[in-house]
Amino acid sequence: MAEDNNIGRVVFAFIFLIIVFFIVGFIVWRFIIVHPMGVQGSLCRIDDDCSAGHYCGGGNVCASGVSGGTNGAVCTANSDCQVGFQCKSDGHTMRCLR
């Protein structure tokens, strides 16, 4: 009888560890592999939230460029572009253009 109780505990512990492993794996996959912080398209509040070569643009997402996109940088609003550039369609994508 005692052996049956120990086998039940081992099975429970094994199942518990598998569930924890999958939860940790999902978190790593979702937040580190799929959408690392600071790259283009990730959420931000200030420029420092974005990786090198990116700034916090319109819609509070990181965009390529430095403190506002220059000619050809992808944008979603004029605020994503440096002074003198406007966010316009190039026929396929919205870009900072003069």
Task: Please state the domain extents for the chain.
Answer: 1-34, 47-97
The pLDDT assigned to 76 comes to: 84
Report the pLDDT value the prediction gives residue 44, as an integer from 0 to 100: 81
User: Which whole number is the average pLDDT over 14-43?
Assistant: 81
DSSP string across 33-53: IIS-TTSTTSB-SSGGGSPTT
86 vs 28: which has the higher pLDDT: 86
22: CB partners within 8 A, 6+ apart: none
Q: Average of pLDDT values for 51-72?
A: 75
Q: How many CB atoms lie within 10 A of CB 10?
A: 10
Please give the pLDDT value at position 37: 67
| For residue 2, pLDDT beyond 70 | no
